[in-house]
Amino acid sequence: MCGGRFLVMLKGTKFFNPWKAAVNRFIWGIINHRKAVVALFVAVAVICTCMIPFVKTNYDMVEYLPPDAQSTHAVEIMNEDFSQGMPNASVLVNDVPIATALSVKDEIAAIDGVEMVMWLDDVTDLTVPLATVDEDLVEQYYRDGNALFQVAIADGEEGDVVPAIRDLVDAYGEGNAVAGEAADNQAMMEGTVTQVALAVVLVVPIITLLLILATMSWIEPLLFFAAIGVSILINMGTNIFLGGVSFITYAVSPILQLAVSLDYAIFLLHAFAAERKLGGTIEEAMARAMRKSASTIAASAVTTLFGFMALSLMQFQIGADLGLNLVKGVALSFVTVIVLLPALTLLCAKAIDKTTHRRLMPNFENVGRPLAKIRVPALILGFVLMVPAFLGQSNVAFTYLTSEPDPELRYGADYYAVEDSFGVQNAAVLLVPRGDVAAEAALAAQIEDLEYVSSVMSYASTVGAAIPSDFLDDSVTEQFYSQDWARIICYIDADVESDEAFGTIAAIQDLASGYYDESYMAGQSANLYDMAQIIKVDNVVVSMAAIVAIFLVVALTFRSLMLPVCLVLAIETGIWINLCIPYYAGDTLNFIGYLIINTVQLGATIDYGILLTTHYLRWRKKAPAREAVYKALGETVPSLIVSAGILASAGIALGVTSSISVVSLLGFLLARGAIISLVMVTCFLPALLVVFDGPIRITTWKSGFLREGKALPASAEEGESPCPEA
Q: For residues 397 and 576, which has the higher predicted lDDT (pLDDT)?
A: 576
Residue 7 has pLDDT above 50, yes or no: no
Residue 572 has pLDDT above 60, yes or no: yes
**pLDDT tens digits along 253-275:** 888 898 888 888 888 888 888 88
**pLDDT tens digits along 26-63:** 999 999 999 999 999 999 999 999 999 999 888 877 78
What pLDDT was estimated at residue 677? 93
**pLDDT tens digits along 619-650:** 899 888 888 888 888 888 888 898 899 989 98
**pLDDT tens digits along 644-674:** 999 899 889 888 888 778 888 888 999 999 9
**pLDDT tens digits along 500-550:** 999 999 999 999 999 999 999 988 888 888 888 777 677 778 888 888 888
SS3 527: helix
Measured in whole angstroms, the distance separating CA 653 from the mean position of its chain's CA atoms is 14
Rounded Cα–Cα distance for residues 670 and 651 (Å): 5
Domains of the chain from N-terminus onward: 33-62+215-355 (1.20.1640.10), 65-191+406-495 (no CATH), 367-401+534-719 (1.20.1640.10)
**Where does the pLDDT of residue 709 fall: very low under 50, low under 70, confident under 90, or very high at 90 and above?**
low
Of 385-399, 432-446, 594-608, least confident by mean pLDDT is 594-608
SS3 415: helix
Residue 438 has pLDDT above 60, yes or no: yes
- SS3 percent helix, strand, coil of the chain, rounded to 5, is 70, 10, 25
SS3 714: helix
What pLDDT was estimated at residue 571? 92
**pLDDT tens digits along 59-102:** 877 788 888 888 888 888 888 888 767 788 999 999 999 999 99
Judge whether 62 and 402 are in contact, CB under 8 Å.
no
Comparing CA positions, the residue from 268, 314, 266 lying closest to residue 295 is 268
What is the mean predicted confidence (pLDDT) over 580-594?
Answer: 88
**Cβ-based neighbour number of residue 73 at 10 Å:** 18
Exposure of 694 in the CB half-sphere (CA atoms within 13 A): 1
What pLDDT was estimated at residue 283? 92
State the distance between the two ends of the chain, measured CA to CA, in whole angstroms. 28
Q: For residues 471 and 539, which has the higher predicted lDDT (pLDDT)?
A: 539
Mean pLDDT of the chain: 85
Characterise 234 by phi-psi region: left (phi > 0), alpha (psi -120 to 50), beta (else). alpha
What pLDDT was estimated at residue 15? 45
What pLDDT was estimated at residue 723? 42
What pLDDT was estimated at residue 195? 78
**Where does the pLDDT of residue 461 fall: very low under 50, low under 70, confident under 90, or very high at 90 and above?**
low
Q: For residues 296 and 558, which has the higher predicted lDDT (pLDDT)?
A: 558
What letter does residue 337 receive in the DSSP assignment?
A: I
Comparing CA positions, the residue from 12, 46, 7 lying closest to residue 29 is 7
Q: Which long-range contacts (CB under 8 A, 24 or more apart) does 719-726 make?
A: 719/365, 719/631, 721/631, 721/635, 722/618, 722/619, 722/621, 722/622, 723/614, 723/615, 723/618, 723/619, 723/635, 724/274, 725/271, 725/274, 725/292, 725/293, 726/270, 726/296, 726/614, 726/615, 726/635
Of 193-202, 207-216, 333-342, 407-416, least confident by mean pLDDT is 193-202
- Alpha-helix runs per DSSP H in 215-246: 220-238
512 CB contacts (<8 Å, ≥6 apart)?
430, 432, 443, 519
DSSP E strands, 106-217 = 114-118, 142-143, 146-153, 177-179
Range from 258-267, 351-360, 577-586 that averages highest in pLDDT: 577-586
Rounded Cα–Cα distance for residues 651 and 664 (Å): 8
Residue 242 has pLDDT above 60, yes or no: yes
Comparing CA positions, the residue from 720, 678, 19, 595 lying closest to residue 371 is 678
**pLDDT tens digits along 180-194:** 888 888 888 877 777
**pLDDT tens digits along 337-346:** 999 999 999 9
Comparing CA positions, the residue from 151, 87, 135, 123 lying closest to residue 463 is 123
396 CB contacts (<8 Å, ≥6 apart)?
579, 580, 582, 583, 588, 589, 594
Rounded Cα–Cα distance for residues 352 and 77 (Å): 62
427 CB contacts (<8 Å, ≥6 apart)?
86, 87, 88, 150, 489, 490, 491, 492, 523
Rounded Cα–Cα distance for residues 699 and 135 (Å): 77
**Where does the pLDDT of residue 230 fall: very low under 50, low under 70, confident under 90, or very high at 90 and above?**
very high
**Where does the pLDDT of residue 422 fall: very low under 50, low under 70, confident under 90, or very high at 90 and above?**
confident
What pLDDT was estimated at residue 410? 85
